[in-house]
């Protein structure tokens, strides 16, 4: 079988529908297959990916053809933005969601593949790629790790800088906010061995799940309070003035358990967060 150009029956099987459904989608203007000189329909990898998207929008989201066409137009617009990047636009100009999309497409991965591997849903990941909103710190960390990068790099922290880094009070670079109530400020610019951050957490803000990575971590509480859970069963409650160190390879999650804002100094080393 030529996996680069599939016939209609093979493409339909990969999309989980019937050949007659593909013909109907073609009539509805949702997909435009390639044609041989004799008129036989052929589907390349990009078209098969589009078929899978249409199938998901129809079965999981319950969208009608008009709504599916609109969703596909948004997806095509995002693809055009990716093409701009390929033509020379610096990745730093892109939103964090678009960076994730660009890396995913560059790796040849589908939304479904990344969502399944990182414990999220296709709809949440798709929305995040378009809006840079709606996923937790844990999910974003897992997505970044699956794509071979880090949240810090996606947020633009990995730019090289030589010498000392002086950051004045209140003049921190702030990471794009992707999860409700979690604001992360960069306390040391550049591509360093230590990632030094200030976390400002609204009441109830949390990691929304556990994650792990290489390295070591240090937390110091400036205001409020924090619950840290290691390995799923070791609970540690931190109050103002408390410090906490642990190895990042241990599963860890956290939550602001205080009835007001919590402010932390959080250091990761090496830069794997």
Q: Which two tokens stand for residue 68?
A: 């599916």
Mean per-residue pLDDT for 207-226? 95
Q: How confident is the model at residue 93 (pLDDT cuts 50, 70, 90)?
A: low
Can you name the CATH fold of 173-269? Answer: Jelly Rolls (2.60.120)
Q: What's phi and psi for 48, nearest 5 deg?
A: -65, -40
Q: Does 210 score more than 50 pLDDT?
A: yes
Beta-carbon-side half-sphere exposure of residue 47 (alpha carbons within 13 Å)? 22
Can you name the CATH fold of 77-154? Answer: 434 Repressor (Amino-terminal Domain) (1.10.260)
Answer yes or no: are the C-beta atoms of 227 and 199 closer than 8 Å.
Answer: no
C-alpha of 101 from chain center: 8
Residue 19 neighbours by CB under 8 Å, 6+ apart: 8, 9, 12
Answer yes or no: are the C-beta atoms of 122 and 60 closer than 8 Å.
Answer: yes
Mean per-residue pLDDT for 111-118? 87
Q: Which two tokens stand for residue 266?
A: 């959080």
Bridge partners of 244, per DSSP, are 219
pLDDT for 3-41, tens place per residue? 568 999 999 998 889 999 999 999 999 999 998 888 899
Torsion, Cα 32 36 41 44, to 10 degrees, reads -70
Q: Does 80 score more than 80 pLDDT?
A: no
pLDDT of 110: 82
C-alpha of 29 from chain center: 30
Domain residue spans in the chain?
Answer: 8-70, 77-154, 173-269
Bridge partners of 243, per DSSP, are 220
Q: What percent of the chain has pLDDT over 70?
A: 89
What's the per-residue H, E or C state across 56-83?
HHHHCCCCCHHHHHHHHHHHHHHHHHHH
Mean per-residue pLDDT for 109-113? 83
Q: How many CB atoms lie within 10 A of CB 149?
A: 15
pLDDT for 122-173, tens place per residue? 878 888 888 888 888 999 999 999 999 999 888 877 555 556 778 899 888 8
Q: Which residue has the tokens 């205080």?
A: 258
In angstroms, rounded to a whole number, what is the distance separating the alpha carbons of residues 44 and 47?
A: 5
Q: Which residue has the tokens 């990761």?
A: 268
Can you name the CATH fold of 8-70? Answer: Multidrug-efflux Transporter Regulator; Chain: A; Domain 2 (1.10.1660)
- Greater confidence, 74 or 259? 259
- Greater confidence, 56 or 2? 56
């Amino acid at each position: 079988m030529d996996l680069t150009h599939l016939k209609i029956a093979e493409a339909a099987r990969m999309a989980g529908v019937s050949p007659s459904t593909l013909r109907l989608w073609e009539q509805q203007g949702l997909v435009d297959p390639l044609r041989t000189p004799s008129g036989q329909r052929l589907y390349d990898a990009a078209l098969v990916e589009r078929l899978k998207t249409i199938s998901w929008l129809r079965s999981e989201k319950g969208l009608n053809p008009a709504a599916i066409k609109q969703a596909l137009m948004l997806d095509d617009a995002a693809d055009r933005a990716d093409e701009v990047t390929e033509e020379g636009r610096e990745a730093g100009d892109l939103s964090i969601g678009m960076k994730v999309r660009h890396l995913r497409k560059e790796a040849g991965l589908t939304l479904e593949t990344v969502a399944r591997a990182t414990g999220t849903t296709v709809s949440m990941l798709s929305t995040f790629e378009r809006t840079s909103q709606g996923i937790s710190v844990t999910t974003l960390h897992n997505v970044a790790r699956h794509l071979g990068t880090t949240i810090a790099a996606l947020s633009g922290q990995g730019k090289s800088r030589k010498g000392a880094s002086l950051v004045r009070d209140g003049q921190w670079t702030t990471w794009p906010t992707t999860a409700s109530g979690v604001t992360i400020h960069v306390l040391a610019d550049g591509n360093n061995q230590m990632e030094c951050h200030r976390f400002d957490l609204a009441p109830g803000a949390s990691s929304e799940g556990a994650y792990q990575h290489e390295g070591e971590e240090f937390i110091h509480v400036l205001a409020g309070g924090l619950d840290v859970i290691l390995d799923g069963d070791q609970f540690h409650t931190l109050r103002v003035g408390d410090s906490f160190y642990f190895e990042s390879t241990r599963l860890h999650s956290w939550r602001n358990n205080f009835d007001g804002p919590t402010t932390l100094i959080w250091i990761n080393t090496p830069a794997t967060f």
